[in-house]
Structure 1
Amino acid sequence: EKGVEQEIDNEVSKIHQCLLQHTDEVASIKARPSFKWKDLVSFYLECEDRQGKSIQLGKRGAGLRRLLMVAYFQYLAQRESVPDRPRTQIYGIEEPETYLHPGAQRTLLRSFETIASRDQVLVTSHSPVFAGSTDITSVILVTRENGVAKVQEGKDVDLEKVAKELGVEPSDQVFGFKACVFVEGEKDIEFLETVTKILKEAGHIPHTLADVGVGIIAVGGSDSLRHWITRNSLKRINRRYAILIDSDRKSLSDNVPQRKLNCKRQCEDEGGLFFITKKRELENYLHPDAIKQNCGKNDPFNDFTDMKALFGENVITAVKHMSADQILERDKYVENGQERHEILEIIRACLSLVET
C-alpha cells in the first residue's frame, strides 16, 4: 500500500507543477487513498492553500477545479513520450472552456492536440478559441433542423456556417496592414521581427516588414478554421499575404505532412506565398552561441531536434543574441550547387508583397 500511495503522490505532484503555471493559490495537493482491494483503490484530492488550510478539491471553487483539469491534461500531454505508455485511449470532454479564460483555453487546446497524436480526443464546444484553432478537417458541425439532428464532417462541413454559429472572426489586425504574413504562434512573430531588424541593420535588406506596412500575425496552424476565415477575408479586400509554417519534420528522411502540402497548393493557387521551413521549426535556425548566451546550455542539436524539449519553451528568445552573420550561417543551404539563404529569401519575398 505504501508503494501505491507513493506512486499516486508522485503523479499528483506532477499535476500540481502544471497547475502552478496557472495559479499560485494552491501550495500543495495531497492524495488521500482508501485501500479496499476488492474494489481496487479510490482516493480524493486535498488542496492546501498558502495559509496552510487543507480543503477537499470537491469543495473548492469551480474555477480552480477547471484549472486543475487544464493541469491534468498538460500532464497527460507531457507523458506522450514516456516509454511503456498505456494503450490508446479515448477522451470525451464536454465544453472544456467553461470557467476558463481564453489563455487557459489555448493551453488546454495545445494539450489536446499533443494527446491526439496517439489517442482520440472528442470535444464538444461553443468556444471560438477551440473552434478557431482546430484543424478544419477535424471539425464536425452538429445542428438541429426541424427537430432532426444534422451532422456535417470532413469536406461536407460548411465552414462559413461554423464560423457564424460560434462567432469565429478573422483577426482584426489584418485590416491595419498593407499585406500580412501569417505564422503559427506569437514566438514566431518575435523571431521574424528580431531577424528582420538585425538583417536591416547589417544592410542585407532595405526595410523591416513593419517599415513597409507588412504585418506579422499569429493565427495558429495553416489548416485551422481561424486561418481559413482570415485568409478569405484578405481575399475579399484584395490584400496580399504570405504564410510561414514549420515543417515539423523529425528527421531528414521525414516528409512534410500532406495536409501542409495541400494547404500550400491551395494558397498558391489563390495568389498567396507559402513557405514551409526546411528544418523542423524556426527554433532550429538559432545559433548555438546565441542559445548558450541566452540560457547557458551548450547541448548539441541538429536541424530536426525538438528544440523546446531540449532548451525550454522560450528558447526562441535566443534570437536577440544573434548577429547577421550567425543568421546567414544557420539559414544557409545549397541548391543546384549554389549557396542560398532560406530565412533571408523568405523575408525578401514578404517585403515584395507591397510596393516600396
Structure 2
Amino acid sequence: MRTRPNIDYRELANDLGIKPDKFSHLFSTSKFLFLVEGVDDAKAMHHNAKLYKENSLIDNTFDELNINIIPIGGCDAIKHWVNLDLLTKLGKPYFIFLDSDKATALEESKNEKKLLSHGFVKGKDFVITKKRLLENYIAPIALQRLVPGCSITYNDFDHAKNICKDYPDETIKRKLGGQKVVERQYANLTFNELRLTWYDGEEDEFLNIYKMIISKLQAS
C-alpha cells in the first residue's frame, strides 16, 4: 500500500491561498483530484456530469465517485503545485483540464506547452480544450434562447468571453452576464445544448475527459 508523508495542510493551504479548514477536508475526502482553471470550470464540469448521467451517457457523477474538482487558477499556478511537490505529497491520482487559449486551430497552445515542460503527459495527466475557452462551449444559439433579443455569434476560436463583455446593447450584455457569462448562463444549458459544443458528430470531448479520469482512477 502506498503511504503518504505527513502533510502540513495549513502550510499548503496558505501557499495556495485556500482557507485551511476547507483545504484539509477537500483533500482528505477525495479519491481523485480533477484540477481545472476556476470555480466556473468546476461548476461546469459538475453540470456536464449531472446531465450526461441523466441521459445515460455516464454511470456516475464526479461527486458520486468522490472526485473533487479543484480550481487551481490557470496554467501558471501549476508551477506552484510542481514546486511544492503537492501531487506527490497528497498521494492522490489527478487529472488537469485547462483552456487552450488558442486563437486559431493551428496555433500552438501555450498552456499545453507549459504543462509538457513540467513533465505532465498529454492524454494521461492532462488535456486542454479543443476550443479556445470554456465560454466557447456555450453555443451562441443557447444564449439566443436564454437572452431574448440577443444576436450574439462566435466560432470555436473567437474570444467568446470578450464578445459577451463587449456586447453593444447594455441591457442584453447585463442579462448575458458580460465577462461572467459562464457563471450566469452555463448551469442553464440543456443537455442538447451541451452536445452542440462538446460533441462534434464523431467524438464527445467531455466523454473523452471523463473516460480518461475513470481509467486513471481505476488504475490507482
Question: More strand per residue: 1 or 2?
Answer: 1
> Are the structure 2 counterparts of residues 291 and 308 from structure 1 closer, same or farther at C-alpha, using a change threshold of 3 Å?
same
Could you tell me how far 1:272 is from its partner in structure 2? Answer: 5.3
Could you tell me how far 1:175 is from its partner in structure 2? Answer: 2.9
Whether the aligned pair in 1 keeps the contact of 2:81 and 2:87 (CA below 8 Å) is no
Bigger shift: residues 219-228 or 308-317? 219-228
Q: Distance in 2 between matches of 1:183 and 1:279?
A: 15
Q: Superposed, which structure 2 residues align to 1:45-84 within 5 Å?
A: none
Secondary structure in 2 matching 1:314: helix
| Pairing partner for 1:345 from 202, 208, 213 | 208
Q: Distance in 2 between matches of 1:307 and 1:180?
A: 28
Q: Could you tell me which residue of structure 2 aligns to residue 267 of structure 1?
A: 120
Identity across the alignment (%): 24
Q: Could you tell me which residue of structure 2 aligns to residue 188 of structure 1?
A: 41
Q: Distance in 2 between matches of 1:197 and 1:182?
A: 18
| Aligned positions, number | 184
Secondary structure in 2 matching 1:187: helix
Whether the aligned pair in 2 keeps the contact of 1:246 and 1:277 (CA below 8 Å) is yes
> Are the structure 2 counterparts of residues 264 and 327 from structure 1 closer, same or farther at C-alpha, using a change threshold of 3 Å?
farther
Q: TM-score, normalised by structure 1?
A: 0.47
Q: Distance in 1 between matches of 2:53 and 2:187?
A: 14
Question: More helix per residue: 1 or 2?
Answer: 2
Could you tell me how far 1:198 is from its partner in structure 2? Answer: 0.7
Q: TM-score, normalised by structure 2?
A: 0.73
Q: Distance in 2 between matches of 1:195 and 1:287?
A: 14
Q: Superposed, which structure 2 residues align to 1:1-356 within 5 Å?
A: 168-169=15-16, 172=23, 173-224=26-77, 225-228=79-82, 232-257=85-110, 260-264=112-116, 266-268=119-121, 273-296=125-148, 297-311=150-164, 312-316=178-182, 317-333=184-200, 339-355=202-218
Whether the aligned pair in 1 keeps the contact of 2:100 and 2:128 (CA below 8 Å) is yes
Where structure 1 has 5 or more consecutive residues not aligned to the other structure, the ranges are 1-163
Secondary structure in 2 matching 1:212: coil
Q: Distance in 1 between matches of 2:208 and 2:75?
A: 20
Where structure 2 has 5 or more consecutive residues not aligned to the other structure, the ranges are 1-10, 165-177
Q: Distance in 2 between matches of 1:229 and 1:196?
A: 32
> Are the structure 2 counterparts of residues 299 and 170 from structure 1 closer, same or farther at C-alpha, using a change threshold of 3 Å?
closer
Secondary structure in 2 matching 1:181: strand
> Are the structure 2 counterparts of residues 206 and 264 from structure 1 closer, same or farther at C-alpha, using a change threshold of 3 Å?
farther
Instruction: Answer 1 or 2: higher relative contact order, Cα 8 Å, separation at least 6.
Output: 2
Q: Look up the equivalent residue of 1:322 and give its one-letter code.
A: L
Q: Distance in 2 between matches of 1:348 and 1:208?
A: 12
Could you tell me how far 1:209 is from its partner in structure 2? Answer: 0.8
Q: Distance in 1 between matches of 2:124 and 2:199?
A: 24
**Aligned-pair RMSD on alpha carbons?**
2.6
